[in-house]
Amino acid sequence: MPKIIAFAGSARQDSHNKKLLNAAVVGARNAGAEVTLVDLANYPMPLFDQDLEAAEGLPENARKLKQLMIESDGLLIASPEYNSAFSPLLKNTIDWVSRAESGDEPALQAYQGKVAAIMSASPGGLGGSRGLVFLRILLGNLGVTVLANQQTLPAAFKAFTENNELIDEKKKAAIESLGAELANTLSKLAT
């Protein structure tokens, strides 16, 4: 059974990306994956700073997330778009988790060999697609294989019901399919 860690690059309680992520998680679980859903709001970390790292080591929350990523086969990421790029929260999280804690630890241990599916929800008309370009590049540089398929959700402020379900059934199916594609890809790679 493939293991996936799922998170949104937003700490906001009513985040459109958290809602979008939930649909992809359903798809991954229905395809047989074990999914650990993480809210980055529960893992606060200081801004990445090498002097702080040298003085205090890896922050405890970064260590916890890093271990979850090491134990996972894949990443399911919903990324808000901030000024045509991904969020500072997501970048900071990725940076802290990338750090080695000892000289004998493999470089980028939490990312090497992983497969990711990415998506974005945005109030704008492009659905966050510009930010996904940069996220795809960053993950690729860390050794993550990013699925070619990705999903965006424009006008996200009016895309969900009061129960945080996607209103558009076709979009809901597409997002669930992305989660299932990640799970199925991981299963195939494991054989």
What percentage of the chain reaches a pLDDT higher than 70? 100
Would you state the pLDDT for residue 67?
A: 97
**Domain boundaries, given as residue ranges, for the chain:** 3-190
Placement of tokens 């529960």 in the chain: 42
Distance CA(51)–CA(74), nearest Å, equals 31
* DSSP codes, 64-124: HHHHHHHT-SEEEEE--EETTEE-HHHHHHHHHHT--SSTTSPTTTTTTT-EEEEEEE-SS
Q: Which fold has domain 3-190?
A: Rossmann fold (3.40.50)
Distance CA(70)–CA(180), nearest Å, equals 21
Q: What's at 85, amino acid-wise?
A: A
Can you tell me the mean pLDDT for 23-27? 98
Residue 25 has pLDDT above 80, yes or no: yes
Can you tell me the mean pLDDT for 47-71? 96
Give residue-wise pLDDT tens across range 129-138. Answer: 999 999 999 9
Residue 127 has pLDDT above 80, yes or no: yes
What percentage of the chain reaches a pLDDT higher than 90? 94
Residue 89 has pLDDT above 80, yes or no: yes
Distance CA(157)–CA(12), nearest Å, equals 14
Is pTM, for the whole model, over 0.75? yes
Distance CA(91)–CA(188), nearest Å, equals 29
Can you tell me the mean pLDDT for 54-63? 96
Q: What is the mean pLDDT of the chain?
A: 96
Would you state the pLDDT for residue 103?
A: 86
Residue 191 has pLDDT above 80, yes or no: no
Residue 22 has pLDDT above 90, yes or no: yes
Would you state the pLDDT for residue 182?
A: 98
Placement of tokens 């801004």 in the chain: 47
Quick check: helix, strand or coil at residue 191? coil
